[in-house]
Amino acid sequence: MIKAIDPNQLLTQMRAMQTQANQAMPMPAEQNLSSGRVDFADLMKNAVDKVNETQQTASQLRTAFELGDPSVNLTDVMIASQKSSVAFDATIQVRNKLIEAYQEVMRMSI
């Protein structure tokens, strides 16, 4: 039998997940608040570094699982792999939007 979804419980879980996500990944812009400006290049570098780190972690877990490490289970490997895939896809989309914006600026007449 299918259980009904309690909206209050769902909202509580969503808020808890949001709080947890905010604690796990502080905004890179907070590092430069003392100077009063945020450098776009630093933000992009931090984002790409984070994606690279996620991919390396997934690769290490996959290798450990393939070698038969008993401390690594298939669920962790698949979750890490999907996280790295989503992060990489998002990075590709940001790159595509930046290229489109650059091309649009270059088409503008002065």
32-44, pLDDT tens digit by residue?
Answer: 455 667 788 898 8
27 located within any domain: no
Q: Which of 52, 54, 74, 78 is nearest to 65 (CA)?
A: 74
Domain that holds residue 108: 37-110
Domains identified in the chain, total number? 1
**Residue 24, domain member (yes or no):** no
Q: Which of 10-14, 46-50, 72-76 has the lowest mean pLDDT?
A: 10-14
Q: Is residue 57 part of a domain?
A: yes
Q: Can you give the C-alpha Rg of the chain in angstroms?
A: 20
Question: Does residue 51 contact residue 91 with C-beta atoms inside 8 Å?
Answer: yes
Is 54 part of any domain?
Answer: yes
Q: What is d(CA 48, CA 30) in angstroms, rounded to the nearest whole number? A: 17
What does the pLDDT average to over 69-98?
Answer: 94
